[in-house]
Amino acid sequence: MTFELPKLPYRADALEPFLSKQTLETHHGKHHRGYIDKLNKLIDGTEYQDLSLHEIVVAAKEKGDTGIFNNAAQSLNHGFLWESMSPDGGVAPVGPLGDAIDAAFGSIEGFKDAFKTKAVSQFGSGWVWLVVDAGRLAIVQTGNADTPIQRGLQPILTLDVWEHAYYLDYKNDRGGYVDSFLSDRVNWAFAAQNYESAKAAA
């Protein structure tokens, strides 16, 4: 199987002013493409070549194939990231996901505070995720290329907190980047679909 770089689900300038066109083109077209291209070279002719991206992430982690894992996991994480953002975000979730957020965090504002705390306290490069853990929503950090699926968690939403995700627009202000995402760029429709899928699979 040869993996291809997925297209962005919106124009490269559609998330402005949250993220600039230059940031999206660099992050998607160079960083994400780089992971995809390296992964294809690494798995060619190996036991991984016919597996799905998710299967490669799990198998490579178990076997300690660090190079394959890093590029597969970053390919998976970035694909999830693009869907987690939307030019039409910002409206607080309702229905089952909204109820679950209230149950876990007290309110949507409680969720935003908890998400930001996890995002800005992630040391170095990594990710912050909204996940389903044993039927309940939780917020977790992962370092570098790690993913929640390694812990048996179901990802609902993510934000990349590697510096390349925001430095062109925010310099070292990770908190401002997170605030802007939470204010009006969260794809709550995508998160709701993931939450319903996780509930159905439980």
Task: List Cα–Cα distances, 181 to 72, 98, 152, in angstroms.
Answer: 25, 18, 26
Q: What is the mean pLDDT of residues 136-150?
A: 96
pLDDT of residue 201: 85
pLDDT tier, 92 (very low <50, low <70, confident <90, very high otherwise): confident
pLDDT tier, 84 (very low <50, low <70, confident <90, very high otherwise): very high
Q: What is the mean pLDDT of residues 170-182?
A: 97
Q: What is the mean pLDDT of residues 165-193?
A: 97
Can you list the pairs that 40-46 forms with residues at least 24 positions away whose Cβ atoms lie under 8 Å?
40/2, 40/3, 42/67, 42/68, 42/71, 43/68
pLDDT tier, 90 (very low <50, low <70, confident <90, very high otherwise): confident
pLDDT tier, 37 (very low <50, low <70, confident <90, very high otherwise): very high
User: Quick check: 135 and 202 in contact, CB under 8 A?
Assistant: yes
State how far the Cα of 34 lies from the Cα of 162, in Å rounded to an integer: 15
What are the residues whose beta carbons fall under 8 Å from the beta carbon of 118, sequence distance 6 or more? 128, 139, 140, 141
Q: What is the mean pLDDT of residues 158-179?
A: 97
User: Is the alpha carbon torsion for 200, 4, 164, 73 positive or negative?
Assistant: positive
Q: What is the mean pLDDT of residues 19-38?
A: 98
Task: Convert the pLDDT of each residue in 41-50 to its tens digit.
Answer: 999 999 999 9
Task: Convert the pLDDT of each residue in 99-123 to its tens digit.
Answer: 999 999 999 999 999 999 999 999 9
State how far the Cα of 42 lies from the Cα of 167, in Å rounded to an integer: 29
pLDDT of residue 98: 97
State how far the Cα of 183 lies from the Cα of 38, in Å rounded to an integer: 35
**Superfamily (CATH) of domain 21-84:** Fe,Mn superoxide dismutase (SOD) domain (1.10.287.990)
Q: What is the mean pLDDT of residues 15-31?
A: 97
State how far the Cα of 197 lies from the Cα of 175, in Å rounded to an integer: 30
Q: How many CB atoms lie within 10 A of CB 68?
A: 21
The residues pairing with 157 across neighbouring beta strands, listed in sequence order, are: 130
pLDDT of residue 149: 92
Q: Which two tokens stand for residue 51?
A: 């597996």
The residues pairing with 140 across neighbouring beta strands, listed in sequence order, are: 129
Q: Taking the domain 95-201, which CATH number applies?
A: 3.55.40.20
Q: Where are the domains of the chain?
A: 21-84, 95-201
State how far the Cα of 169 lies from the Cα of 177, in Å rounded to an integer: 8
pLDDT tier, 86 (very low <50, low <70, confident <90, very high otherwise): very high
State how far the Cα of 194 lies from the Cα of 163, in Å rounded to an integer: 26
Where is average pLDDT lowest: 55-64, 74-83, 89-98, 164-173? 89-98
Output the pTM of the full model. Answer: 0.96
